Structure 1
Amino acid sequence: MNRRIVVKIGSSSITSEEGGLNRAHIRFFADELASLQASGHQVLLVSSGAIAAGFRRVGYAARPKLVHEKQASAAVGQALLMEAYQEAFAAHGIAAAQILLTRPDFGNRQRALNAQLTIEELLKLRAVPIINENDTVAVDEIKFGENDSLSALVANLVKASGLYILTDIEGLFTADPRKDASARKIERVDVISEALYRIAGGAGSAVGTGGMRSKIEAARIAMGGGVATFVGRVTEPGDLVAAVAGSGRGTYFASSLHSLPAKKQWIGFLSVPQGRVAVDAGAEAALLNGGRSLLPAGVLSAEGDFHPGDVIEVVSADGRILGRGVSNYNAWQITAVAGLSSEDASRRVDVSRVEVIHRDEWVTTYVPKEAELS
């Protein structure tokens, strides 16, 4: 069956520890992607590596830490990265297309649609869209998990069949296999829990920033869009084809049985919250387990400067993030009615709906504490 596939490659897979591109590795990955395309699949590539490719060329001895130094490195490195990909894919008669995105591009529905339509046209032309974060302008996004979350957002945007996040470790283990001989590989994950995050480490290499934790978060985002995810290693010819076929060297994350509709995907994962409200235990239970709307009586406090129609984050009394939703109130109105009954709240402020967040515009993002690992 022909599928739409998003492949994510990190800096450590295509650059050296000292900086600069490993063109042999880039040719290898181009060969693997070309094989998938030749078998009828539509292929998108999310590739990190601009900063790692450029920092030596501009004169830095090691990967820079200051934002403006990273941006300068990325400005040079992105051109070098695309040049290498163009050359590698040209050997297969495939055009490589550059698309640079930032988080706000997904938060704005029109810009996200424009990106989606461009990608659709490129796939129709059998080009390979190569997507990277625009590190030269995205100040906060330079610290954005080595493009792992970006790859999940792209997979959801284009309604991909699968997301394949390639790394230098053969999937998720109960401990770091490079340090602990008793580490056991987790073959499949059906539910992402706090336990899974706890066993994930930090950044994996000197040239990259994305550790296993960010890959778990990417899988969680992809699950929300109904996209299955593979996290693992591809080093030999045929490895990527095997991963797509279900026999890869890594961990498979199942897609959710109930993928979110497009609007809720935007609320839960693409939007940028404009504020937050804290809620009591009763409201927490109603939102997480009862499928109920958030009413003024359950609100403890509000932060930020938001307005009706803005997406806000909802946290528990002890600060745990529960989810996101579209507010029907201004921030000051929520402060004025916090803890009041719906009847008293409607007398206190003039709003179109008494619910602070209606259940149809609410998305739970809370991660449960435990889940069985297989």
Structure 2
Amino acid sequence: MAALSTARRVVIKIGSALLVDRNSGALRRDWLDGLAQDVAWLKGQGCDAVLVSSGSIALGRGVLGLPTTVLALEQAQAAAAVGQIRLARAYEEVLAPHDITTAQVLVTLEDSANRRRYLNSRATLEQLLSLGVVPIVNENDTVATDEIRFGDNDRLAAQIAVTVGADQLILLSDVDGFYSANPAQDPTAKRYDQIDVITPEIEAMAGDAGSGLSKGGMKTKLMAARTATAAGCAMAITDGFVLRPLTALENGANATWFTAQSDPQTARKRWIAAMKPRGTVTLDAGAVAALQRGKSLLPAGITAVGGGFERGDSIAMQDLAGHVVGYGLSRYSAGEVAEIKGRKSAEIEAVLGYPGRAALIHRDDMAL
């Protein structure tokens, strides 16, 4: 089973029931202080951390005096608007004493479904992590409707784990793992320490959410596990109610680990290689040699462009003889590439009239 202390990048999902007292609607500050200590420990191990946190609606409904039952859409959006600012401030307050800078990132399903917006989200998160920031990610409940919702933060956390190339995803839950039945109803239910393959039998054991504050149940956690493990990210379900849940997990607390099918980089490159290319770029000999040394593809190395691709589309990279050397996700449209091909990165803004990215295809977005 995985160990947190060996992780390079971890996404931690925090549910509403952990953050907000069900009876009073107040923030559980002592719990959040403990989580901040855990995050500081992870950072001290050289590990990047991303928090995917519910809680805005639960906090906001307490401030507005709304019931704990299911809210109408406009009530939920109002509660989210009031609660989100309090949630962000709470994270900033508990992490600042550890010299950790936080950032708020609000997303909707469209940010992952639309490739251009997905690439923007990925670039932003990658930049934040490279600067040592801990992003606090949540669904943008103030504007999201049922049609554009992830619907629960388990699946959102899995998508974020894929986006940032995390090697571990930790779901802090109200149960200490995946059981063969609901342990609150069946005392003979068996907890699994490790699941290597999500079989139909495993799926049949999953139930739905049981809390008025939370939306995720075991079904959504299994969906999250499928997404994460296919992308090379191991996933754990563990009890989040203890004051130092990540330390407890590292010290052997009960959990169910879903094993990754590969490593994140291999899985991503396999995904890119499987995409249908929408166009081509022809590379000079210097650019081909640079790719083979692990470099990104710069506009200066492009001699020709073909196809009608848009930013975020997969394109084939070929040498001067027409042999395909790899595939990658373009950071520019075909029209833009036609204008900047053969140009140095410093010339891009003058040619296009606006700042652009230095690389046409970043090395993390290509499969040779």
Q: Map 1:210-359 to 2 at 5 A.
A: 210-236=216-242, 239-241=245-247, 243=249, 247-257=252-262, 260-261=267-268, 264=271
Separation of aligned partners in 2, 1:266 and 1:218 = 23
Separation of aligned partners in 2, 1:100 and 1:45 = 12
Separation of aligned partners in 1, 2:272 and 2:54 = 24
Aligned to 1:328: none
Separation of aligned partners in 2, 1:233 and 1:141 = 31
Separation of aligned partners in 1, 2:271 and 2:50 = 24
1:130 aligns with 2:127: no
Residues paired across the two proteins, number? 270
Q: Tell me, which stretches of 5 or more residues in structure 2 are unaligned? A: 1-5, 276-309, 311-368
Deviations 1:300-331 (A, max 9, x none): xxxxxxxxx9xxxxxxxxxxxxxxxxxxxxxx
Secondary structure of 2:63's counterpart equals coil
Aligned to 1:315: none
Q: Is the 8 A contact 2:209 2:217 kept in 1?
A: yes
Aligned to 1:17: 22
User: Cα distance, 1:46 vs. partner?
Assistant: 0.4
Q: Is the 8 A contact 1:170 1:251 kept in 2?
A: yes
Secondary structure of 1:7's counterpart equals strand
Separation of aligned partners in 2, 1:266 and 1:73 = 43
Distance 1:267 1:249, change over 3 A: farther
Range 195-204 or range 79-88, more displaced: 195-204
Could you tell me the percent identity over the aligned residues?
39
Match of 1:120 among 126, 131, 137: 126
User: Cα distance, 1:28 vs. partner?
Assistant: 1.6
Range 138-147 or range 107-116, more displaced: 138-147
Separation of aligned partners in 1, 2:181 and 2:259 = 21
User: Cα distance, 1:85 vs. partner?
Assistant: 0.7
Letter in 2 for 1:149: R
User: Cα distance, 1:35 vs. partner?
Assistant: 1.1
Separation of aligned partners in 2, 1:267 and 1:178 = 43
Q: Is the 8 A contact 2:175 2:239 kept in 1?
A: yes
Aligned to 1:331: none
Aligned to 1:314: none
User: Cα distance, 1:65 vs. partner?
Assistant: 2.3
Secondary structure of 2:13's counterpart equals strand
Distance 1:253 1:266, change over 3 A: farther
Q: TM-score, normalised by structure 1?
A: 0.67
Secondary structure of 1:163's counterpart equals strand
Q: Is the 8 A contact 2:10 2:49 kept in 1?
A: yes
Q: TM-score, normalised by structure 2?
A: 0.68
RMSD value, Cα:
2.6
Deviations 1:123-148 (A, max 9, x none): 12211100000011111278644311
Aligned to 1:317: none
Range 134-143 or range 149-158, more displaced: 134-143
Q: Map 1:35-74 to 2 at 5 A.
A: 35-74=41-80
User: Cα distance, 1:257 vs. partner?
Assistant: 3.7
Q: Is the 8 A contact 1:20 1:54 kept in 2?
A: no
Aligned to 2:301: none
Match of 1:5 among 1, 10, 18: 10
Match of 1:181 among 162, 187, 211: 187
Distance 1:60 1:83, change over 3 A: same
Aligned to 1:99: 105
